Every structure is written in structure tokens, then in C-alpha cells.
Amino acid sequence: MNSAQLIDGKAAAARVLQQVKVDVASMVADGIQPCLAVVLVGEDPASQVYVRNKILRAEECGIRSLEYKLADDIGEDELLELIRRLNADREVHGILLQLPLPAHIEETLALQAIDPGKDVDGFHSENVGGLSQGRTVLTPCTPSGCMQLLHDTVGDLSGKHAVVIGRSNIVGKPMAALLLQAHCSVTVLHSRSQNAAALSRQADIVIAAVGRPRMIDASWLKPGAVVIDVGINRITEGERSRLVGDVDFDSALPVVSAITPVPGGVGPMTIAFLMKNTLIAAQLQAKTHAKSEAPCPSIS
């Protein structure tokens, strides 16, 4: 039986966070405190857990965190006004608007209101467009974390055939763009794809991000493929509830060369790259402010 490598997302995230902590300390020594503002609208229990974990990680990295808990019935204009204030605050370097939002608030409008330079989720259209053009921008945290896991596991990705299963704006599309930047040949599979399993079997790398528990089994995978499972699905078996991925882990394990477990794979990387994006945003803003405040050369 093939002995597949389990890709340890917890260990990889710890390495990312440790480097962020070192770099944040260097900025603090220079008089700049990286700061992340987290905006939570409503009482969604899962969102509250996510926000709590993000703030905890920020504190561990030395990043100052600001939390804004807003009522479920807050007006759209009120939320947009808060975002405008955070955009204008030079002591705030990153803004995270926790999704989902209540139905009466237009999600796209709220996300577009965030300054692209403070958009640590990488969802603003300016950052999305920049990513597709290969420019250096803030990129979505989950795909960025997946890329780190792939580089750690595979090394040079140039020339590899990567299949992305799922085409969401949050994972699938930016994942494909990042893989293209790494010089992969990229195929994106989705609900309208024909012969999806056969196409997936051609891939050296499979990114599963479709949101359907255990949909991808061994019949979708080429022997020796590297599998990154982004899915986090809660299922009930008997009286027990547990988390599984989009990949049928037990079926895939004898076939693949490396695979992320669920939980403990991609999940920890998402928060780690949120911290890294906050640091990057702070560094870029510090450079911009330094240039804008530099004295003009005198003319004699």
C-alpha cells in the first residue's frame, strides 16, 4: 500500500505565524504597530468563533486588534460609514468584514467600500483584477495558504497540471490565478463540467473546493497526485458529528503521494495568511506614507 504524506497544516501555519511575529516585532521597534480591525455584523455563532480565533492569533503575533460588533439590524449606511472611518484611520492597516452579512446589506457593496490596501481578505475587485494580471496585491487567505502548502510539499510547481474543483470567488477562481502565476497548467472543474472525474485523473495537483462531503474519491485521482482538500463539511454518522473534507480521505490515501487531512490541513493556514496579509498591508502603507512625507528637494 502506498504511504501517502499527510500535509500538516498546523505545523505549516505555525511557521508562517512565527515569521509574522518576528516581522511585526521589527515594525513595532520602528514605531509602527500593525493593526487589524474586525467587523462582525449580527450574532451568527460560527462567525463569532471565527472572529474570536482571528483576534487571538493577532494578539499572539503582536498585531493590535480592534473588534466592532454591530447589531443584526444595523443600516447599510451605518456600516459603510464605519468602513469609511477605518479606511481613513492611519493606525488601522487591515479591515476584515466577517461574512456572511445579514440579507438587507449588499455584500458586494460593503466589500467594495474597503480600501484595497487594507483589504486583508483580498476580495476587493481591484485586488481580484490585480491578481489576474499577475500584479503584487493582497490575495485571498485560503488560496494563499494552499499555495504555501504546495510549495512546501512539491517545491517548484512549474509545468505541473493542476485541477481546481470549484469556481467560487473566494477559493476556486483566485486559486486558479495563483497556480497560473506559479506556471502550472490549470483546469477548473465545476457543476457544468463534462467528464469531470476523467479530467481530474490527469492532474498532478488537485485542489478540492466544492463544498460537498467526500465527493472526490480515488476514481478522480491519478496515482501519485498531491491533493489539497479545502472542504470543511460537518456530517452526522450515527450519533456522532464530525468534520470531513470534499475528498473521501480513506479512499484517496492509498492512491495519492500527499494529502491534507480535514481538520488540520488548510484551515489553520487561512488564519495564518490573514495575519500575514495584515503585516504586508502595514508594510506597504508604511512605505507609502514615508514617500508622501518625504521633503521635496529644494531648488537653488
* Positions marked active-site: 54, 98, 121
Residue 206's DSSP bridge partners are: 163, 227
Alpha carbon distances (Å) from 234 to 209, 210, 256: 15, 14, 24
How many CA atoms does the CB half-sphere of 197 hold within 13 Å?
A: 7
State the burial class of residue 212 (Cβ atoms within 10 Å of its Cβ: 0-12, 13-18, 19+).
Answer: middle
State whether the Cα torsion 126-191-193-151 is positive or negative.
positive
Residue 165's DSSP bridge partners are: 189, 208
State whether the Cα torsion 199-173-250-1 is positive or negative.
positive
| Inter-residue contact 209 to 181 (CB < 8 Å) | no
d(CA 182, CA 20): 23
| Cell matching residue 129 | 483584477
What's the Rg (C-alpha) of the chain?
Answer: 20
Helix (H, G, I), strand (E, B) or coil at 41: strand
The DSSP call for residue 116 is G
Task: Write b or e for each residue in 259-283: b if 16 or more Cβ atoms lie within 10 A of its Cβ, otherwise e.
Answer: bbbbebbbbbbbbbbbbbbbbbbbb
Contacts for 147 with CB less than 8 Å, ≥ 6 apart: 178, 179, 182
The DSSP call for residue 247 is B
